Amino acid sequence: MDKVREPARKLAGLVPYDPKYLPARAMMSANENPKDVDEDLRRQVESAVRRVPLNRYPDPLANELRDLIACANGLDREQVLVGNGGDELLFNTALAWGGPGRTFLNLPPTFSVYEANARLTNTDVLNIPRLREQDFAIDEAAVLDAVSGPDSQVDFTIIATPNNPTGLRARTEFLGELLASTDALVVADEAYFEFSRQTMRPYLDANKNLVILRTFSKAFSLAGVRVGYILGHPDVIRQYMKVRQPYSVDAVSQAIGRVIFQNRAAFEPGIEAIIEERERILKELSAMPGVHPYPSDANWVLFEVPEAEQVWQRLFDAGVLVRDFSTAAGLEGTLRVSVGTKEQDDLFLDELKKARGIS
């Protein structure tokens, strides 16, 4: 046949996710840790990988890794689920809590994967935009209003804290209030909590409707391996188990994840350095005429700059890849730079000054 039937109707208007990842001297576009796993840890990773039976299916639930994560968070195994990156668990959230006739509350601009997953699962999306004039703070009153009351349609929400790509974390007290005013599932996406040093973990015991999502991809230098996890009530975790792909987390990733998690303290100095560099970048950007950085609790800085698209190109031509949000809804005129090594940050700042005609 020289033709094929139309795919599912929900695919109309969807575009495949494109991280716009181009090779560059300074990769500062994907919020990764600029430092790869060091030599010593890498040797431990290699010997762990060497012991993995490749002919056998992995433990579907990654129980050994689950136990390590549970123990570190003062929880039981039943309160933890490991996924193929946080992204798989975000998709599973839409599979388990979304669907036709169900509603997802989204707070754009935010991680675009949330809304894409809602569309893929035919979930209705209720958008409550963040307040750009207040550094993209959540419209707290509007959110509380939308979820409370007996006729609220909201079945689940996902709140990135800190919010990617804008930068600020949500107020803990607000999230607490939200959890208390609705039985909708509230996923606190803490992909960057190692940089904000804030977690909703203390709220877990009293709130069955709270799920905390985390990843090994950012602070722990493991974006290439695909390991993330959620913390939640055992009944909620069981619902997630119904929709997940049985062998989504392969045995090699499980083995690497265990080594990295057991050695997570080794990443602390690097995290500290990233936080210091973030503050330096913020300060330098604030001093550049015409450039407006937004405050950040994470490992990147979003900033407004005149002619952002041309500036992106100038930076790229000079070997610096940042993320272009200049034409994204609600983010017009902005670029996002992920904090790099000191050398990369210097290169970025120098090239931005040149692009702005500052010397």
Ligand X SMILES: *Cc1c(COP(=O)(O)O)cnc(C)c1O
Binding footprint of ligand X on the chain (CB under 6 A): 31, 85-87, 111, 160, 164, 189, 191, 215, 217-218, 223, 228
In the complex, the smallest distance separating the C-beta of residue 126 from ligand X, rounded to whole angstroms, is 19
Nearer to ligand X, 113 or 355 (CB): 113
Q: Choose among 242, 16, 215, 213: nearest CA to 116.
A: 16
* Strand ranges inside the chain, DSSP E: 26-27, 80-83, 103-106, 124-127, 154-160, 185-189, 210-215, 228-231, 292-293, 300-304, 320-321, 323-324, 334-338
Nearest CA to 165 among 114, 203, 94?
114
Contact by Cβ (8 Å): 228, 80: no
Instruction: Fill in the DSSP letter of residue 5.
Output: -
Compare residues 130 and 351 and give the one whose CB is closer to ligand X.
130
Question: What three-state secondary structure class fits 91?
Answer: helix
CB of 86 to ligand X, least distance (A): 3
Q: How far is the CB of 237 from ligand X (least distance, A)?
A: 18
* Closer residue to ligand X, CB minimum distance, 291 or 325: 325
Please choose, from the candidates 87, 89, 146, 138, the residue with its C-alpha nearest in 3D space to the C-alpha of residue 109.
Answer: 138
Sheet holding 292-293, edge to edge: 292-293, 300-304, 334-338, 323-324
d(CA 309, CA 312): 5
Closest to ligand X by CB, 137 vs 288, is 137
Encode burial over 19-31: b for 16+ CB neighbours within 10 A, e otherwise: eeeeebebbbbbb
DSSP E strand stretches across 51-111: 80-83, 103-106
Task: State which residue, 75 or 214, has the beta carbon closest to ligand X.
Answer: 214
Q: How far is the CB of 145 from ligand X (least distance, A)?
A: 25
Cβ proximity to ligand X, 165 vs 293, nearer residue: 165
Provide, rounded to whole angstroms, the least separation between the CB of residue 324 and ligand X. Answer: 16
Contacts of 137 (CB under 8 A, 6+ apart): 130, 131, 168
Residue with smaller CB distance to ligand X, 162 or 291: 162
Token pair listed for 157: 């929400």
- Helix (H) / strand (E) element for 252: namely helix 251-262
Contact 237, 70 (CB under 8 A): no
Q: Could you tell me the smallest distance in angstroms from the CB atom of residue 60 to ligand X? A: 19
Shortest approach of ligand X to residue 310 CB, angstroms? 26
Do residues 157 and 186 touch, judged by C-beta distance below 8 A? yes
The Cα 277–Cα 273 span in angstroms is: 6
C-beta closer to ligand X: residue 84 or 121: 84
Tell me how far, at minimum, the Cβ of 100 lies from ligand X, in Å. 25
Nearer to ligand X (CB atom), residue 220 or residue 303: 220
Residue nearest to ligand X as judged by C-beta position: 85
Provide the minimum distance between the beta carbon of 8 and ligand X in the complex, in angstroms, as a whole number: 24
